[in-house]
């Protein structure tokens, strides 16, 4: 057995002899001096222990560094079904903020505003809808930490509520539910609870984890409780950002003003953005010439979790595009030009890297750590939808989870494509046909979209997806045996002259050398010859010459057993 001296191991590990000797003492390893030798097993155990200690130390330092970074305000987006009170809640929050500050007038085009409370500041984003919200995430930027889903207590969970929940989850936001319109006599908190339960969301009142706050955006009832819950959720998330880092964030919106020029609203997520800085957003760049906060006040700089309107871009950057600080104009121009060329190359060959169908998506999934199948399900009727959902729930396993991002009646929409693109999912529809524009969008974004008229064909497709995500299980299949009849020492090596006594011997098979029925070696074939020719296989009853990779100690009477690994089909 190979051995290593202590001083050699210390050098390999980048530590002093004394440090290594202390570790050996703690492990109870006996030695005379740093020149003593260690068995392979002991050396491996030392390496493992030191590796674990170093990882733990690195993790401790990383955590210390993270805790040295200051906390930041949570960024919140408000979503929900039409007419359930999103705008009313935003308006109430804006008014309360103005009243508290005893100031009037806010800049409507910043796209965000702050609400200051005794417990801290909350930043609200006024997005145009959940599709735009998910679009931001699709471009690689997580814009909001928390999504408040507004549900009207007189109406309950509706189709757009489900879509909002799905988009918020895909965007990686924490969910808080606001049961609005509690001032109405027909309001029912229980109705909201029951609707959420049907979506698999268990409220705290029912022993779950989903916070559901009764509010009235009209009277302000419960809004303070909502703000406190947002701050508690943010505290649990331990949100931090480094104000000294290079400024990065996301473009909330942009427009062209006839007098000022291009105005862009930016949400700063890391670092500090200053007047005079150069920034790049997608294929556009700019030098910050002026900066205005949500109250219309000029700022020279702004830190994390703040939104500002800036002047300085030559062209409007797209909403949802991530922006970053760059050192100068030269870097800005070079980066944007590279991105433009990359986009043009993708447009010339749009199929590269994109899954064109569910089979392609499966191959992508198999190459990743993902063990969830993200699906959007559309059906012609509620009955069909429920039946398919029940069947799908039985198809998932402990290894593979079927995650229904959205299940709804009606044809697939462009919103569905956007959600599937963000979550790396597929769209399955039953009994309904997507519009041509939806099919085109799915093709452009590489989202597998498949329609079915027979329910069992849909289920078969899902079963294929589940099987594709499971860890493969293999069994060994014996191909054949050959008996060594003679041993030849040639310039190429020691060759076993054999007779195939059963089955066949193949060139790519695994080989066991059996002597008196005991395995003495296992490996691969280097060459397989029939007479003087290289062959792929030799069948029973024929002679052959076998040269193995790494074994030459043949004896007459040895048996060479060929086998292969075969994947077991899992039901």
User: Which CATH number do you get for residue 412?
Assistant: 3.40.50.10050
Burial degree of 131 (CB within 10 A; 0-12, 13-18, 19+): middle
Please state the domain count of the chain.
5
CATH number at residue 222: 3.40.50.300
* 129 in a known ligand binding site: yes
* 440 in a known ligand binding site: no
- In this structure, are 330 and 455 located in the same domain? no
Burial degree of 287 (CB within 10 A; 0-12, 13-18, 19+): middle
* 130 in a known ligand binding site: yes
Contacts of residues 473-478 at CB distance under 8 Å and 24 or more positions apart, as own/partner, are 473/567, 473/568, 473/570, 474/565, 474/566, 474/567, 474/568, 475/565, 475/566, 475/568, 476/563, 476/564, 476/565, 476/566, 477/563, 477/564, 477/565, 477/566, 478/503, 478/561, 478/562, 478/563
Question: Looking at the domain assignment, is residue 214 inside a domain?
Answer: yes
Q: Which of 469, 484, 501 is the last residue of a domain?
A: 469
Could you give the C-alpha distances from 90 to 36, 99, 113, 123, 294, in angstroms and in order? 74, 14, 10, 11, 14
- In this structure, are 306 and 372 located in the same domain? no
Q: Do 384 and 430 contact (CB within 8 A), yes or no?
A: yes
Q: Would you state the structure tokens that stand for residue 380, as one six-digit string?
A: 């012609």
The residues near 161 (Cβ < 8 Å, ≥ 6 apart) are: 80, 81, 84, 149, 151, 195
Question: Looking at the domain assignment, is residue 243 inside a domain?
Answer: no
* 287 in a known ligand binding site: no
pLDDT greater at residue 369 or residue 225: 225
Q: Residue 525: which domain range?
A: 474-568
Q: Would you state the structure tokens that stand for residue 296, as one six-digit string?
A: 């219309």
- In this structure, are 462 and 534 located in the same domain? no
* 83 in a known ligand binding site: yes
Q: Which residue has the tokens 């009277």?
A: 219
- In this structure, are 217 and 123 located in the same domain? yes
Q: Do 159 and 130 contact (CB within 8 A), yes or no?
A: no
Cite the beta strand spans of 8-133 per DSSP E: 37-39, 75-80, 112-117, 120-125
Does 106 score more than 50 pLDDT?
no
Pairing of strands 3-5, 75-80: unpaired
* 434 in a known ligand binding site: no
* 553 in a known ligand binding site: no
Question: Looking at the domain assignment, is residue 195 inside a domain?
Answer: yes
Question: Looking at the domain assignment, is residue 287 inside a domain?
Answer: yes
* 82 in a known ligand binding site: yes
- In this structure, are 16 and 110 located in the same domain? no
- In this structure, are 315 and 441 located in the same domain? no
CATH number at residue 288: 2.40.30.10
- In this structure, are 379 and 443 located in the same domain? yes
> What is the predicted pLDDT for the residue at 135?
63
pLDDT tens-place string over residues 171-195? 788 999 999 999 999 999 999 999 9
Question: Looking at the domain assignment, is residue 353 inside a domain?
Answer: no
Q: Which of 45, 68, 91 is the last residue of a domain?
A: 68
* 109 in a known ligand binding site: no
* 200 in a known ligand binding site: no
pTM of the model: 0.63
Q: Which of 330, 348, 366 is the last residue of a domain?
A: 348
- In this structure, are 141 and 185 located in the same domain? yes
Question: What proportion of the chain, given as a percentage, has pLDDT over 90?
Answer: 43
* 81 in a known ligand binding site: yes
Determine which helix (DSSP H) or strand (DSSP E) holds 183, and give its type and residue range: none
pLDDT greater at residue 408 or residue 136: 408
Q: Do 308 and 257 contact (CB within 8 A), yes or no?
A: no
* 302 in a known ligand binding site: no
Least confident window among 150-154, 280-284, 441-445: 441-445
Question: Looking at the domain assignment, is residue 501 inside a domain?
Answer: yes
Instruction: Report how far Cα 59 is from the mean position of its chain's Cα atoms.
Output: 22
Could you give the C-alpha distances from 507 to 178, 477, 482, 535, in angstroms and in order? 67, 15, 13, 7
* 524 in a known ligand binding site: no
The span from the CA of 231 to the CA of 120, in Å, is: 7
- In this structure, are 119 and 183 located in the same domain? yes
- In this structure, are 168 and 98 located in the same domain? yes
Which of 151, 235, 245 lies closest to 196 in space, CA to CA? 151
| Average pLDDT of span 383-387 | 79
- DSSP string covering 450-492, please? EEESSHHHHHHHHHHHHHHHSPPEEEEEEEEEEEEEEEEEETT
- In this structure, are 480 and 443 located in the same domain? no
Question: Looking at the domain assignment, is residue 242 inside a domain?
Answer: no
> What is the predicted pLDDT for the residue at 290?
95
Question: Looking at the domain assignment, is residue 172 inside a domain?
Answer: yes
The span from the CA of 250 to the CA of 268, in Å, is: 7
pLDDT greater at residue 380 or residue 268: 268
- In this structure, are 197 and 282 located in the same domain? no
* 127 in a known ligand binding site: yes
Q: Would you state the structure tokens that stand for residue 562, as one six-digit string?
A: 């060929």
* 86 in a known ligand binding site: yes
Could you give the C-alpha distances from 256 to 261, 265, 300, 310, in angstroms and in order? 5, 12, 22, 12
> What is the predicted pLDDT for the residue at 295?
81
pLDDT tens-place string over residues 294-334? 888 899 999 999 999 999 998 999 888 899 999 999 999 99
């Amino acid at each position: 057995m190979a051995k290593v001296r202590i001083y050699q191991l210390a050098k390999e590990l980048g530590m002093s002899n004394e440090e290594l000797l202390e570790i050996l003492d703690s492990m109870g390893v006996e030695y005379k001096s740093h020149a003593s030798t260690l068995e392979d097993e002991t050396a491996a155990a030392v390496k493992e222990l030191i590796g674990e200690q170093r990882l733990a130390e690195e993790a401790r330092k990383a955590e210390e560094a993270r805790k040295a970074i200051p906390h930041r305000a949570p960024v919140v987006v408000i979503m929900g079904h039409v007419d359930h009170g999103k705008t009313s809640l935003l308006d109430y929050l804006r008014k309360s903020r103005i009243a508290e500050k005893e100031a009037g007038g806010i800049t409507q085009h910043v796209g965000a505003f702050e609400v200051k409370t005794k417990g801290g500041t909350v930043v609200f984003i006024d997005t145009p809808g959940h599709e735009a919200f998910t679009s931001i995430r699709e471009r690689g930027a997580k814009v909001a930490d928390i999504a408040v889903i507004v549900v009207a207590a007189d109406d309950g969970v509706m189709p757009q509520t489900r879509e909002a929940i799905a988009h918020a989850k895909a965007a990686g936001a924490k969910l808080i539910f606001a049961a609005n319109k509690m001032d109405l006599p027909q309001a029912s908190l229980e109705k909201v609870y029951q609707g959420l339960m049907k979506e698999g969301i268990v409220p705290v009142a029912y022993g779950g984890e989903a916070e559901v706050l009764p509010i009235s955006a009209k009277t302000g009832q419960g809004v303070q409780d909502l703000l406190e819950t947002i701050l508690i959720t943010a505290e649990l998330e331990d949100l931090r950002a480094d104000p000294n880092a290079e400024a990065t964030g996301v473009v909330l919106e942009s427009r062209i003003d006839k007098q000022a020029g291009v105005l862009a609203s930016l949400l700063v997520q890391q670092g500090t953005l200053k007047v005079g800085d150069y920034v790049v957003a997608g294929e556009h760049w700019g030098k910050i010439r002026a900066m205005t906060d949500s109250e219309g006040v000029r700022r020279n700089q702004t830190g994390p979790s703040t939104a500002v309107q800036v002047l300085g871009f030559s062209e409007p950057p797209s909403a949802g595009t991530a922006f970053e600080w760059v050192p100068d104009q030269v870097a800005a121009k070079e980066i944007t030009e590279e991105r433009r060329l990359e986009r043009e190359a993708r447009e010339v060959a749009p199929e590269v890297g994109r899954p064109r169908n569910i089979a392609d998506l499966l191959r992508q999934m198999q190459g990743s750590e993902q063990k969830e199948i993200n699906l959007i399900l559309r059906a012609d009727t509620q009955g069909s939808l429920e039946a398919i959902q029940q069947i799908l729930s039985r198809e998932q396993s402990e290894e593979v989870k079927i995650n229904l991002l959205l299940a709804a009646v009606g044809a697939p929409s462009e919103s569905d494509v956007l959600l599937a693109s963000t979550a790396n999912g597929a769209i399955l529809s039953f009994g309904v046909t997507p519009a041509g524009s939806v099919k085109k969008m799915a093709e452009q974004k590489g989202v597998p979209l498949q329609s079915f008229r027979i329910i069992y064909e849909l289920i078969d497709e899902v079963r294929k997806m589940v099987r594709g995500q499971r860890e493969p299980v293999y069994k060994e299949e014996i191909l054949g045996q050959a008996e060594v009849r003679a041993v030849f020492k040639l310039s190429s090596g020691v060759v076993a002259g054999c007779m195939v006594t059963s089955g066949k011997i193949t060139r790519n098979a695994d080989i066991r050398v059996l002597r008196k029925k005991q395995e003495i070696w296992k490996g691969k074939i280097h060459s397989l010859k029939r007479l003087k020719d290289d062959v792929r296989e030799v069948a029973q009853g024929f002679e052959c010459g076998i040269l193995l990779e790494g074994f030459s100690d043949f004896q007459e009477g040895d048996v060479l057993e060929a086998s292969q690994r075969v994947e077991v089909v899992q039901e």
